[in-house]
Amino acid sequence: MQTSPVKQPSWDPVLVDIVDYTQNYQIQSTLAYATARLCLIDTLGCGLEALQYPACTKLLGPVVRGTVVPNGAKVPGTQFQLDPVQAAFNIGAMIRWLDFNDTWLAAEWGHPSDNLGAILATADWLSRNAVAVGKTPLTMRDVLTAMIKAHEIQGCIALENSFNKVGLDHVLLVKVASTAVVSQLLGLTREETLNAVSLAWVDGQSLRTYRHSPNTGSRKSWAAGDATSRAVRLALIAQTGEMGYPSVLSAKTWGFYDVLFKGQPFKFQRPYGSYVMENVLFKISYPAEFHSQTAVECAMIIHQKLKAAGKAESDIKKITIRTHEACIRIIDKKGPLDNPADRDHCIQYMVAVPIIFGRLTAYDYEDTIAADPRIDALRDKIVCVEDKAFTADYHNPEMRSIANGLTVEFNDGSKLDEIVCEYPIGHKRRRSDGIPLLEDKFRNNLARQFPARQQQRILDVSLTQEALESMPVHEYVDLYVI
């Protein structure tokens, strides 16, 4: 008795939309390209700063020490030249290590510039190999275009779909977005790109275990590197002609929705365009989880007010943080903080340090600073309360505020008027104020790693839109070789 062949399912529309956008959509927004250039330099600067930390650099380099890949991708700020999969891990880990690159906040939060690990590694590798055989290399405009599209894919899915509420880490979206844009850079066909993106969804997905007490740990700093490297690997697998899985999301029982998303299909607020890059949030002043950025700005003002009044943190009886729901869910922490990864996701710690010291730097999360007993003493006096209006404005697509308000009460019964900040310096609504500071941040990060002449060569290209866009990728990356 003959059996009928099983009919191949149709491709899930979510996959089709991602792939058709990646392959066909033409970015017309001048603002998106200008913002992407700022995002590029800020993200690379974050990676350079991370090279100051042995906990990061011990993870960098080839899988097998001493391996050099001919025409491989180079890792900025180092002498490593690697295959694109391992280069993506290196660059992705550097970018994310200090929690200082850009942010997107919605139903799901994340850091869209994490995708640069995959994009830059792949584009650099392709450019070097093109030049080696007399072909035309990719330009940095190609990199910016891929960044805009990766931001858009990650950010638009995040608008209405909360992966953290089912215990999954947001780096899932980095892997999916990177797989799509890397496939386009590699020149994969539409069918091959669909295969690649389906492989990213069918892949095992990271749990958020390493982001939350009692297991908060340093994997959160290299999780994005892991996601970008996996994206490059999956795109290369698809390039060989490996099959995909059309109903990976919607398949009954075995699909992503049923297995990992409580049976719910994804919801979408808007079609893919260039919205996310245009509205992305930059961390400019403080290496702190973004829901706390406005609270840190308020804490710096409180530090100055204490000095002016001749008071110290020991005079404080209580600090109330009026905040939004996402802040309470993610970074409202009591009790011991075991490591820097724990501290930079605790709003009480991120408020206490600037009130006491008048600063918040990456080093302030290290054990040496955390050992100061004044920090934990002040942390114990800080409480968070949700303001429903702040939560509503956080989700409002026309506002996207990240508001915090701090009220300080003193032991003598007096108190300071509440200090409120709705939009941090890196928000689109404060872009004109933020751009000069972002460029200063980039200059400072270049100075950590390079001599003055090399810094200037990088700045001459990086601060000029036309010069950057027209430069071959490998030539730009070579500027960062130490």
Please name the residues in contact with 13: beta carbons below 8 A apart, sequence gap of 6 or more: none
The model's confidence at residue 8, banded by pLDDT at 50, 70 and 90, is: confident
Q: Which residue has the tokens 């991708």?
A: 73
Residue 5 pLDDT > 70:
no
Mean pLDDT calculated for residue range 374-398: 95
Give percent of the chain with pLDDT exceeding 90: 93
Asked if residue 86 lies in contact with residue 231, where contact means CB atoms within 8 angstroms, the answer is no
User: 145, 47, 42, 56: which is closest to 103 by C-alpha?
Assistant: 42
Mean pLDDT calculated for residue range 153-173: 97
The model's confidence at residue 336, banded by pLDDT at 50, 70 and 90, is: very high
The model's confidence at residue 285, banded by pLDDT at 50, 70 and 90, is: confident
Q: Which residue has the tokens 């950025």?
A: 293
User: 95, 104, 35, 109: which is closest to 228 by C-alpha?
Assistant: 95
pLDDT number for residue 29 = 98
pLDDT number for residue 4 = 52
pLDDT digits (tens, 9 = 90+) for 361-381: 999 999 999 999 999 999 999
Please name the residues in contact with 473: beta carbons below 8 A apart, sequence gap of 6 or more: 120, 123, 124, 126, 127, 137, 138, 139, 140, 142, 143
Mean pLDDT calculated for residue range 61-86: 96
Please name the residues in contact with 113: beta carbons below 8 A apart, sequence gap of 6 or more: 39, 42, 43, 95, 101, 102, 147, 151, 280
Give percent of the chain with pLDDT exceeding 70: 99
pLDDT number for residue 81 = 97
> pTM of this prediction?
0.90
How is residue 442 written in tokens?
A: 């980039």
pLDDT number for residue 105 = 87
The whole-chain average pLDDT of the chain stands at 96
Asked if residue 229 lies in contact with residue 95, where contact means CB atoms within 8 angstroms, the answer is no
pLDDT digits (tens, 9 = 90+) for 188-241: 999 999 999 999 999 989 999 999 888 999 999 999 999 999 999 999 999 999
pLDDT number for residue 2 = 53
Spatial separation of the C-alpha atoms in residues 8 and 195, rounded to whole Å: 13
User: 459, 460, 455, 461: which is closest to 473 by C-alpha?
Assistant: 461
pLDDT number for residue 333 = 94
Please name the residues in contact with 93: beta carbons below 8 A apart, sequence gap of 6 or more: 50, 56, 59, 60, 117, 221, 222, 224, 225
Residue 1 pLDDT > 80:
no
List the beta bridge partners of residue 384.
321
Mean pLDDT calculated for residue range 379-393: 97
User: 343, 94, 364: which is closest to 229 by C-alpha?
Assistant: 94
pLDDT digits (tens, 9 = 90+) for 86-102: 999 999 999 999 999 99
